[in-house]
A and B are shown apart, each in its own frame.
Chain A
Amino acid sequence: MSDSTSTVSTAASASTFLPEVPEWRRMMNRFLGHRGLLMGSIILGLIVVLAILAPWLAPHDPYLQNISQRMIPPVWHEKGSWEHVFGTDKLGRDYLSRLLYGARISLTIGLSAALISGLIGTTLGVLAGYFGGRVDAVISYIITTRLAMPVVLVALAMSALVGGSLQMVIILLGLLLWDRFAVVARSTTQQLRDAEFIASAKVLGASTTYILVRELLPNILSALIVVMTLEMAHAILLEATLSFLGLGVQPPMPSWGLMISEGKAYMFFKTWVIAIPGIALMVLVLAINLVGDGLRDMNAPEGRN
């Protein structure tokens, strides 16, 4: 008997030492231990830094045309030169400079569209999940209606109607990509709606706004951040698609989708014209997805270490 009590007390004192490791430290260890997340964040971080520093890093003006310097191949070709590392396009504009400025456009559109749709989707989803009943019925109907619309088709029709531009693409994608936020926010809210800590806040007299924003939202935020990365990648790809089809960002802006589109006439003879922006697009989307997957793993209770 005395034996068992002593083990209980040692176990108790051992457990009291556990929380001494600070929270950020444990998060840091988990972050470093997750290879995909680490790789994704490094690549994404690099692209973000390159995009921010584009005006200082770009060797040339991305809009400057030079007809005598058309279609110079990149440096690894025998005809390439260090003057234009990634070569030039059909109007003689420096490809590396355009690529760097293009990263700004992709990231701006991805982030803004994901933020707008996140705001719309989370609001709708949380309200539907928390209040249930008629509110849920109406919002679920709106979600279903949205899911029944093919995104690319609607985006094409709308941009054909209103005309393509950077702001247009952001607003359009922001208004179209909120469905996953709404579905995830709704189901996670439903799981937490009847939790006793919510009931406790209600008994204490907290307002519904306080309960939704301060008690509920922090608990579903990790799931929403994962959705956000997915939708960011989605928005970047859709922007490239729209620009490729000539209905997104308009020339002469250096969007990656537009670069692929402008190069498609030459792709059989000068593959790098589409390969370079294509690979850039793939690397960016891959990095964002790696980060999203990693964040999901970090937040999953079973993944804690």
Chain B
Amino acid sequence: MAEYALELSNLSRHFYLKNGAFKEPTLLKAVDGISLRIRPGETLGLVGESGCGKSTLAKMILGLLEPTDGDVLINDKMRGASSRLSMSRQLQPIFQDPYSSLNPRKTIEQIIRLPLQLHKIGDAKSQQKAVQDISDLVGLPERLLKNYPGQLSGGQRQRVAIARALILKPNILVCDEPTSALDVSVQAQILNLLMDLKKELGLTYLFISHNLGVVEHLVDRVAVMYRGKIVEQGTREEIFQNAQHPYTQALLSSVLTPEPALGLPEVLDSSAWDRAS
């Protein structure tokens, strides 16, 4: 067993933004020297505002984007050292938008089966069986397997995406805002499903979200990202009860609570965040 399921060391990704033909391009450090370690079986929540580099980080972990600098280690093996095919057996994504993550021209069965076909696992019959088993596991009714994604609800679609991610039995799931495109009522179902699957299969999660309420519900540890850097990380209790960094405090105070006395969140001076980091 590897010591860390997922380890990022000094991971960076820089973009050059063009400013027209004759001007110098601006350097954007989308992800700037991030180091993170996730132990097997642990759930790490990565929180931060839109545009802070969360999704760029996820893309690099998934191998969809080359890092400018730094390494991604999956179960102690360097990403890039082995093929995409073998990496995909260890780490799978769950994307944000279940409306764009399923090919609209394929049936649900074809979608869930695709990983097995690409990896040439089993014959037609055993693949079909595996699809049925995994559908049961994620709570997807079997009669939907012959349907197309367009005929399913958002929650059902996200279950399909989870089934597809799990059919290769990876030990790490990278969830990039897996519930933000769903109804509030469905969000809870999907989150509970993810929690149940974690217990049942011993999965490791990197859970990316801007929704602190969701993160508090799910994770063991939290890392707070701001402008491409991790500004604070700690256990759930440390972050939610005793945040040190002013950005984390601002983020926490911006969560709307149902208690009327608290009112609207205060707008804090953002220059303090930069000074602190």
> How many B residues touch A, CB cutoff 8 Å?
36
Q: Contacts of B95 on A, CB cut-off 8 Å? A: 196, 199-200
Once the chains bind, are B105 and A196 in contact (CB under 8 Å)? no
Question: A204 vs B62: C-alpha distance in the bound complex, in angstroms?
Answer: 10
B257 at interface (Cβ–Cβ under 8 A)?
no
Once the chains bind, are A196 and B101 in contact (CB under 8 Å)? yes
Q: Contacts of A199 on B, CB cut-off 8 Å? A: 62, 64, 93, 95, 101
A196-B97, A218-B106 given; 17 more Cβ-contact pairs under 8 Å: A8-B185, A16-B141, A195-B101, A197-B101, A197-B103, A199-B101, A200-B93, A200-B95, A203-B93, A204-B115, A204-B118, A205-B86, A205-B88, A205-B118, A206-B114, A215-B103, A218-B103
CB B275 to nearest CB in A, in angstroms, measures 36
A266 at interface (Cβ–Cβ under 8 A)?
no
Q: Contacts of A16 on B, CB cut-off 8 Å? A: 141, 143
**Other-chain residue from B84, B86, B100 in contact with A203 (beta carbon distance below 8 A):** B84
**Other-chain residue from B83, B96, B114, B168 in contact with A201 (beta carbon distance below 8 A):** B114
A19 at interface (Cβ–Cβ under 8 A)?
yes
Chain A residue at minimal CB-CB distance from B59:
A199
**Which of B96, B101, B105, B141 has the most C-beta atoms of chain A within 10 angstroms of its own C-beta?**
B105
Q: Which of A55-111 contact B (CB under 8 A)?
A: none
Once the chains bind, are B104 and A219 in contact (CB under 8 Å)? yes
| Complex interface bits, A193-214 against B, C-beta within 8 A gives 1, otherwise 0 | 0011101111111100010000
B151 at interface (Cβ–Cβ under 8 A)?
yes
- Secondary structure type dominating chain B contacts: loop
Chain A residue at minimal CB-CB distance from B104:
A219
Once the chains bind, are A195 and B100 in contact (CB under 8 Å)? yes
B129 at interface (Cβ–Cβ under 8 A)?
no
CB A107 to nearest CB in B, in angstroms, measures 29
Chain B residue at minimal CB-CB distance from A220:
B105
A18 at interface (Cβ–Cβ under 8 A)?
yes
B184 at interface (Cβ–Cβ under 8 A)?
no
Q: Contacts of A218 on B, CB cut-off 8 Å? A: 103, 105-106
- Can you pick out 10 interface pairs between chain A and chain B where the beta carbons lie within 8 Å of each other? A19-B144, A196-B97, A197-B100, A200-B101, A204-B88, A205-B87, A206-B114, A206-B118, A218-B105, A219-B103
Number of A-B contacts (CB under 8 A): 67
B159 at interface (Cβ–Cβ under 8 A)?
no
Question: A15 vs B151: C-alpha distance in the bound complex, in angstroms?
Answer: 9
Q: Contacts of B64 on A, CB cut-off 8 Å? A: 199, 202-203
Question: A218 vs B104: C-alpha distance in the bound complex, in angstroms?
Answer: 9
Once the chains bind, are B84 and A205 in contact (CB under 8 Å)? yes
Binding site for B on A (CB under 8 A): 8, 15-16, 18-19, 23, 195-197, 199-206, 210, 215, 218-219
Once the chains bind, are A203 and B62 in contact (CB under 8 Å)? yes
Q: Contacts of B203 on A, CB cut-off 8 Å? A: none
Question: A199 vs B161: C-alpha distance in the bound complex, in angstroms?
Answer: 12
Q: Contacts of A210 on B, CB cut-off 8 Å? A: 118
Chain B residue at minimal CB-CB distance from A194:
B100
**Which of A8, A197, A205, A218 has the most C-beta atoms of chain B within 10 angstroms of its own C-beta?**
A197
Question: A203 vs B87: C-alpha distance in the bound complex, in angstroms?
Answer: 8
Question: A215 vs B93: C-alpha distance in the bound complex, in angstroms?
Answer: 18
Q: Contacts of B119 on A, CB cut-off 8 Å? A: 204-205
Chain B residue at minimal CB-CB distance from A203:
B62
**Other-chain residue from A19, A203, A206 in contact with B147 (beta carbon distance below 8 A):** A19
Q: Contacts of B106 on A, CB cut-off 8 Å? A: 218
CB B167 to nearest CB in A, in angstroms, measures 10
When A and B form their complex, which 6 residue pairs have the shortest distance between CB atoms, in order from nearest? A205-B85, A196-B101, A218-B105, A205-B84, A196-B95, A197-B103
Question: A206 vs B111: C-alpha distance in the bound complex, in angstroms?
Answer: 13
Q: Contacts of B85 on A, CB cut-off 8 Å? A: 204-205
CB B184 to nearest CB in A, in angstroms, measures 13
Q: A196-B95, A205-B83 are in contact. Are A18 and B88 (CB under 8 A)?
A: no
Once the chains bind, are A196 and B96 in contact (CB under 8 Å)? yes
Question: A23 vs B96: C-alpha distance in the bound complex, in angstroms?
Answer: 28
